[in-house]
């Protein structure tokens, strides 16, 4: 849970607590007896003695509001608790066992949902007679199906999770699985449902009391107060106002608590917007002077930071590389190396939490103009995406709109960049180019109707539709089977030949794929470039211990035992002071731990961030 969202919980939480405390403390507060009548002063306005005035029998309104809160809250909370227990039990059992159990629990509960709630409550109260106990039961019956539905849905998705299967594999009995493993994990939405239910139970309770079917007079209740005040509405309108204010206020506060609770309990957190162009500009210092002619793409001193409670954390630090037209550069690294963020930064698609704090990304456009993508307004950037640079992602199924036919999505891409005539023919030609077996039919298909490998082909077709000069591929084959991966890699190589001069940045964690497709390789570790060079040079004689260890840990050799790199990648907020790889490095010496080593140029285009690179051979 994040501290910021817990702070958001404090306000409404304190208010709800205040209401509850006042209600609980009613007997010890210096209040008038809520049922003592004073007919002489009936309908008297607010006074020093009676702050909120007196009602149609001269009873103190403040006292009745507070005692009424006791009744309303008790009925609402007890009813919601009862509904929660019964409903959750039904839902969990139905969701876990399915079949007949589901029929008798969840489906039966759903029948209750079909009745209009007020009508059902009326029926129950008529059958059992009015009174607080009856009210609790009828409200519980009304609200239990809501819990059953939430618990059922959550159980359905949780029962297939690995850690539930793990309990079965361990030989756990069903009750243990249900109550030790399942229930705590489905609790958050149920807690939210609970606070929602308390609020609606209060409203319904007041409604029933207003109709004379709830709390029996002269016991105070907000609904009864409204009922009483209605008769003298024209003489003393304030009498109607107070209970309504109490009811509305309490329900609002409860709903607010609900909202905040949902934010706190939802691990995904609130959706944050993207910072605008201005927001990004402010954070960025002016671009450094270009050190050399940019080629197709030149990234210089790129530093990306994530804002955290302890200030900005640099997740990518001082990354630079150049790419010539027609060249393929592989960026390789483990999770947390910053390879994907680097690719996204070039596309101008960084997640909202990540901001560039230094560096430049220079792209030479078709007409020879050099632009700094890091400082380009979003509107201009949008014009470049697709035309000058395009991207393919790891997961092709989440990158395509499931509701649109493949052909119309591709057509959209073409039209967005001004193709007007012969869109359909172009679409079919593109699909043929990326090797879809039946392009005419594929254009008419929805994304779910083709396989994962074919979806990736469609994504590639969309990326190359407008002949971009730069293609960024972020782990495009990781989600695919090896035989399909080989096909996609072959396709990308083929397209590069066909689209003469297209440069490609290929982001991957797989060294073997790098040797397959790339000319040059950039090895990243913990947000930094540690080595760069031509693929054959780097793989033949790695000049950084991390690269060497990665190659050695590939399960390809004949060695009986794999070479493992000890330890784990350091967390971004706990980077070692010196070389970031030093804690896991067999060659580390004291100098490595003292200061961060610079990126040394060993030969033209061959870089290493290791103090001892000369000793590696």
Contact residues for another protein, defined by CB under 8 A = 161-163, 165-173, 176, 180-181, 184-185, 334-335, 437, 451-454, 481-487, 489-490, 493, 509-513, 515-517, 535-536, 539, 549-551, 553-556, 560-566, 568-569
Task: Give the separation between CA 63 and CA 220, rounded to whole angstroms.
Answer: 9
Residue reference for tokens 């999505």: 409
Instruction: Count how many residues are written for the chain.
Output: 617
Provide the minimum distance between the beta carbon of 169 and another protein in the complex, in angstroms, as a whole number: 4
**Distance between terminal CA atoms of the chain?**
48
Whose Cβ is closer to another protein: residue 70's or residue 455's?
455
Whose Cβ is closer to another protein: residue 500's or residue 555's?
555
Phi, then psi, of 601 in degrees rounded to 5: -90, 110
3-state secondary structure (DSSP) of residue 450: coil
Whose Cβ is closer to another protein: residue 24's or residue 554's?
554
Beta-bridged to residue 505, according to DSSP, are 329, 472
Provide the minimum distance between the beta carbon of 16 and another protein in the complex, in angstroms, as a whole number: 25
Provide the minimum distance between the beta carbon of 483 and another protein in the complex, in angstroms, as a whole number: 4
167 to 14, 88, 159, 187, 346: CA distances (angstroms) = 39, 21, 11, 19, 45
Token duo for residue 540? 């033949």
Cβ burial of 103 (10 Å; 0-12, 13-18, 19+) is exposed
| Cβ partners under 8 Å of residue 281, min gap 6 | 375
Task: Give the separation between CA 345 and CA 339, rounded to whole angstroms.
Answer: 10
Provide the minimum distance between the beta carbon of 461 and another protein in the complex, in angstroms, as a whole number: 17
Whose Cβ is closer to another protein: residue 18's or residue 512's?
512
Half-sphere exposure of 5 (CA within 13 A, CB side): 18
Count other Cβ atoms within 10 Å, centred on residue 288: 11
Whose Cβ is closer to another protein: residue 63's or residue 88's?
88
Provide the minimum distance between the beta carbon of 558 and another protein in the complex, in angstroms, as a whole number: 9
Provide the minimum distance between the beta carbon of 560 and another protein in the complex, in angstroms, as a whole number: 8
Whose Cβ is closer to another protein: residue 440's or residue 556's?
556
Provide the minimum distance between the beta carbon of 518 and another protein in the complex, in angstroms, as a whole number: 10
Provide the minimum distance between the beta carbon of 337 and another protein in the complex, in angstroms, as a whole number: 9
CA angle 194, 199, 201 (to 5 degrees): 90
Token duo for residue 559? 């060695």
Provide the minimum distance between the beta carbon of 494 and another protein in the complex, in angstroms, as a whole number: 9
**Does residue 63 have a cis peptide bond before it, meaning omega lies within 30 degrees of 0?**
no
Whose Cβ is closer to another protein: residue 22's or residue 313's?
313
Task: Give the separation between CA 52 and CA 49, rounded to whole angstroms.
Answer: 9
Provide the minimum distance between the beta carbon of 176 and another protein in the complex, in angstroms, as a whole number: 7
**Strand order in 311-323's β-sheet?**
311-323, 297-308, 354-364, 370-372
Provide the minimum distance between the beta carbon of 332 and another protein in the complex, in angstroms, as a whole number: 9
Identify the DSSP state of 363.
E
Whose Cβ is closer to another protein: residue 204's or residue 431's?
431
Q: Are 335 and 568 within 8 A, CB to CB? A: no
Whose Cβ is closer to another protein: residue 303's or residue 456's?
456
Provide the minimum distance between the beta carbon of 525 and another protein in the complex, in angstroms, as a whole number: 10
Residue reference for tokens 């030969």: 603
Whose Cβ is closer to another protein: residue 41's or residue 328's?
328
Provide the minimum distance between the beta carbon of 184 and another protein in the complex, in angstroms, as a whole number: 5
398 to 96, 119, 452, 551: CA distances (angstroms) = 29, 45, 11, 32
Half-sphere exposure of 68 (CA within 13 A, CB side): 33
Token duo for residue 220? 């105070």
Provide the minimum distance between the beta carbon of 418 and another protein in the complex, in angstroms, as a whole number: 34
Whose Cβ is closer to another protein: residue 136's or residue 523's?
523
431 to 369, 449, 477, 481: CA distances (angstroms) = 31, 15, 18, 21
Whose Cβ is closer to another protein: residue 351's or residue 557's?
557
Q: Using the Cα atoms of residue 223, residue 228, residue 229 and residue 234 in order, give the sign of their dihedral.
A: positive
Whose Cβ is closer to another protein: residue 466's or residue 515's?
515
Q: Are 468 and 384 within 8 A, CB to CB? A: no
Phi, then psi, of 321 in degrees rounded to 5: -165, 165
Whose Cβ is closer to another protein: residue 466's or residue 563's?
563
CA nearest neighbour of 197 among 106, 258, 256: 258
């Amino acid at each position: 849970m994040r501290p910021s969202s817990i702070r958001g919980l404090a306000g409404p939480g304190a208010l709800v607590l205040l209401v509850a405390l006042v209600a609980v403390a009613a007997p010890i507060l210096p209040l008038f007896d809520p049922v003592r009548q004073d007919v002489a002063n009936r309908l008297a306005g607010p006074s020093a003695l009676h702050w909120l005035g007196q009602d149609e029998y001269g009873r103190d309104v403040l006292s009745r509001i507070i005692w009424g809160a006791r009744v309303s809250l008790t009925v609402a909370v007890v009813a919601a608790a009862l509904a929660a227990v019964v409903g959750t039990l039904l839902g969990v059992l139905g969701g876990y066992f399915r079949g007949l159990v589901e029929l008798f629990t969840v489906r039966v509960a759903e029948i209750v949902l079909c009745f209009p709630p007020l009508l059902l409550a009326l029926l129950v109260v008529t059958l059992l007679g009015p009174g607080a106990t009856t009210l609790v039961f009828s409200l519980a019956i009304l609200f239990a199906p809501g819990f059953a539905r939430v618990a059922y849905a959550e159980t359905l998705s949780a029962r297939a999770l690995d850690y539930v299967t793990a309990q079965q594999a361990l030989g756990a009995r069903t009750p243990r699985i249900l109550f030790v493993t399942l229930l705590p994990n489905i609790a958050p939405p149920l807690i939210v449902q609970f606070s929602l239910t308390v609020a609606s139970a209060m409203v319904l309770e007041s409604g029933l009391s207003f109709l004379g079917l709830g709390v029996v007079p002269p016991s105070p209740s907000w609904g009864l107060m409204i009922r009483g005040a209605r008769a003298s509405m024209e003489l003393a309108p304030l009498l109607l106002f107070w209970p309504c204010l109490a009811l509305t206020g309490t329900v609002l506060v409860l709903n607010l608590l609900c909202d905040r609770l949902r934010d706190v309990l939802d691990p995904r957190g609130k959706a944050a917007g993207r910072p605008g162009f201005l927001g990004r500009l402010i954070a960025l210092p002016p671009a450094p002077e270009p050190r050399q002619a940019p080629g197709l793409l030149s990234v210089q001193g790129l530093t990306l930071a994530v804002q955290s409670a302890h200030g900005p954390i640099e997740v990518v630090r001082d990354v630079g590389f150049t790419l010539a037209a027609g060249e393929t550069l592989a960026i390789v690294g483990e999770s947390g190396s910053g390879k994907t963020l680097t690719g996204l930064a070039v596309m101008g698609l960084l997640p909202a939490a990540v901001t560039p704090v230094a560096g430049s990304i220079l792209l030479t456009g078709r007409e020879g103009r050099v632009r700094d993508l890091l400082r380009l307004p979003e509107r201009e950037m949008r014009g470049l995406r697709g035309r000058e640079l395009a991207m393919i992602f790891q997961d092709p199924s989440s990158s395509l709109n499931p509701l649109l036919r493949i052909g119309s999505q591709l057509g959209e891409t073409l039209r967005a960049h001004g193709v007007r005539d012969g869109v359909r023919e172009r679409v079919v030609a593109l699909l043929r180019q990326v090797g879809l077996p039946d392009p005419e039919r594929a254009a008419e298909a929805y994304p779910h109707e083709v396989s994962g490998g074919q979806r990736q082909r469609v994504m590639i077709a969309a990326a190359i539709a407008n002949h971009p000069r730069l293609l960024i591929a972020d782990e495009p084959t990781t989600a695919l089977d090896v035989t399909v991966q080989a096909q996609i890699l072959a396709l990308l190589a083929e397209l590069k030949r066909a689209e003469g001069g297209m440069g490609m940045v290929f982001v991957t964690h797989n060294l073997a794929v790098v040797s397959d497709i790339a000319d040059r390789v950039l090895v990243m570790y913990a947000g930094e470039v540690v080595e760069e060079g031509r693929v054959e040079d780097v793989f033949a004689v790695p000049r950084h211990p991390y690269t060497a260890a990665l190659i050695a840990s590939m399960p390809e050799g004949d060695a009986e035992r794999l070479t493992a790199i000890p330890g784990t990648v350091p967390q971004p907020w706990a980077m070692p002071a010196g070389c970031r790889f030093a804690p896991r490095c067999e060659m580390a010496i004291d100098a490595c731990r003292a200061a961060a080593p610079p990126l040394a140029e060993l030969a033209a285009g061959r870089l290493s961030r290791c103090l001892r690179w000369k000793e590696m051979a």
